[in-house]
Amino acid sequence: MGPGWRAPSAALVGGSVALFGALRRAARGLPRPAAVRSRPGRAWRWGNLLVSFAHSVLAGLWALLSLWQSSELLADIQDGYCVSGHLLVCFSSGYFIHDSLDIILSHQSRSSWEYLVHHAMAISAFISLIITGRFLVAAMLLLLVEVSNIFLTTRMLLKMSNVPSPVLYEVNKYVNLVMYFAFRLAPQAYLTWYFLRYVEVQGQGAFLMANLLLLDAMILMYFSRLLRSDFFPSLHKASAGRDVDGEKFLID
């Protein structure tokens, strides 16, 4: 398999959509915490987060391993290519398509519109680089964010389940902050600097640049929410008391 959109790539994306659909059905059969069972509106959200957690573990470790084994690719972010990275992007494209469909078909679009915006950006960017075979390394760097998402999703699952051990939440809270810096803010900042300095702002470069800058704004907004919620709760009072059943905010 080489760069460019071919039938195998389309099949891989479709297979990934089907895989996550199967995981979603399996998640429905798993036991749920009492706090989730007692509030039926959270059932969809719980299952959706479990699938998101599975994607984060697989894609995050995959991205780390691929970049570790092919570190020379970092010298050619625009045109570097490896089969593992290509497969990873197809895999994650399938997840974003599945999650978008899950949100829409489960009538959660209104409460999860931020996810739909994020997924639309990711899907369009990933498909463009699969077709052209360019900027694959940039996508691999961006997918390092899934390492951070492992702990972010764990945080949300712990909050939903009202875990009886606050120590577990506290430990994850600080690990999550470190991972947010290391695998979300740092790669994003580096790619933004790289695009602003080296990428020609026309065609695909301009399209990806616009996506990247919009993602910068979203990530900073989510980081602000995270800090207010976990480290400055007095600033989070404005959102306290709302009924979040069925909602799927990136940061609660």
pLDDT tens column, 94-151: 999 999 999 999 999 998 999 999 999 999 999 999 998 899 999 999 999 999 999 9
Burial class (CB in 10 A: 0-12, 13-18, 19+), 134: buried
pTM for this prediction: 0.91
Pick the range with the lowest mean pLDDT from 113-127, 133-147, 208-222, 230-244.
Answer: 230-244
Q: What pLDDT was estimated at residue 58?
A: 98
Give the CB-side neighbour count of residue 64, counting CA atoms within 13 A. 13
- 42-57: per-residue pLDDT in tens? 889 999 999 999 999 9
Alpha-carbon Rg for the chain, nearest whole angstrom, is: 18
Q: What pLDDT was estimated at residue 164?
A: 63
Please give the C-alpha separations between residue 213 and each of 54, 57, 137, 216, in angstroms, as whole numbers.
27, 26, 18, 5
Q: Are 1 and 83 in contact (CB under 8 A)?
A: yes
Q: Are 5 and 127 in contact (CB under 8 A)?
A: yes
Burial class (CB in 10 A: 0-12, 13-18, 19+), 101: middle
Write phi, then psi, for 144 (nearest 5 degrees).
-60, -20
SS3 162: coil
